[in-house]
Amino acid sequence: MVNVKQLAKKKELITGGTFACTGCQAIYGLRLVGMALGKDTVIINAAGCMTLTATHPYTCYKTPWLFNAIENAASTATGVAKGFEAQGKKVNVVCYAGDGSTSEIGFGAVSGAAYRNDNIIYICYNNGNYANTGYQVSAETPEYARTLTSPIGKKNKFGNLLPRKSLAKLMAQNGAVYSATASTSYPHDFIEKLQKASKIKGFKFIDLLTPCEPGWLVKTNEMFKVGKMIVDSGMWPVYEIENKKVTINIKPAMTPVKDVLKMQGRYKHLNASMINYIQKKVKKEWETINSGKFWESNDY
């Protein structure tokens, strides 16, 4: 369990004043990484939203930070980890990359690191779109979500038509010794998973849900709330996988999906039939999970 009093005494390893959006949950995720892992940490960042956290000559980090192209952050993290290993030093090497890099452009490098069982912690800050370049569809964009490349109009009344990839399952199948999902709206769960991952040697993966204010069209003061409601509705299952053993960490209350969908402008076009479709899909997903057939579910 997370010791809240001890966390409160820790110094922040991420400062304020970045060029990221107000209320950015990916930035909050980085703060939690610092609180969980401490100063003996190196952050490797793929090109994306978090590029804005360190713009020369300024930086928000009190730990070493490396910036890489969108496709090769995992490979760089592997090299850094091998270097520390050769020196006999124990350092948390954290790769922090967006869903576009992780699920598509950089997937080969991520999959390779998992296959080799490289000793890194890979965190995908998953906001379900290519947020840094204008909110285009990624392989993590949910069905029916409006994006720049799935706009609502005469030729498209549905938004994105493809379901998202289940990254945590894919990484477990690719050889990750520890694979999990988390949400910035459940910070203690995320911190516990980070601390657990830091004690395990090998490739560790965490798919972190990070709501995006401009991409999702959510009010700044409701960012944390919308993330919590997505988990509570069952739309984002929170679990961990070790040696193919699955543990559900947060049992959702299964609140109606319509309540969280209406908070997001990217779903403004949905009608009752489309909302009902999403609700049925989430219900079916959890029926499969609760029946013990986790590997047959799709993770909406």
- pTM of the prediction? 0.95
- Say how far apart CA 146 and CA 267 lie, in whole Å: 6
Q: What amino acid is encoded at 109 in this protein?
A: A
The pLDDT score that the predictor gives to residue 155 is 87
pLDDT tens per residue across span 131-164: 999 999 999 999 999 999 999 998 899 999 999 9
The pLDDT score that the predictor gives to residue 14 is 87
| Tokens at 69, concatenated | 């192209």
Short-list 49, 54, 10, 9, CA closest to 29: 49
- Say how far apart CA 240 and CA 114 lie, in whole Å: 16
Beta strands in the chain (DSSP E): 41-46, 65-68, 92-98, 121-126, 178-183, 204-209, 238-242, 245-250
Mean per-residue pLDDT pooled into runs of 10, the chain (300 residues): 66 83 92 94 93 83 92 96 96 96 95 96 97 94 95 92 93 94 97 97 97 95 96 97 93 97 97 97 95 82
Question: What's 257-297 look like in SS3?
Answer: HHHHHCCCHHHCCCCHHHHHHHHHHHHHHHHHHHCCCHHHC
The pLDDT score that the predictor gives to residue 23 is 87
pLDDT tens per residue across span 77-131: 999 999 999 999 999 999 999 999 999 999 999 999 999 999 999 999 999 999 9
The pLDDT score that the predictor gives to residue 8 is 60
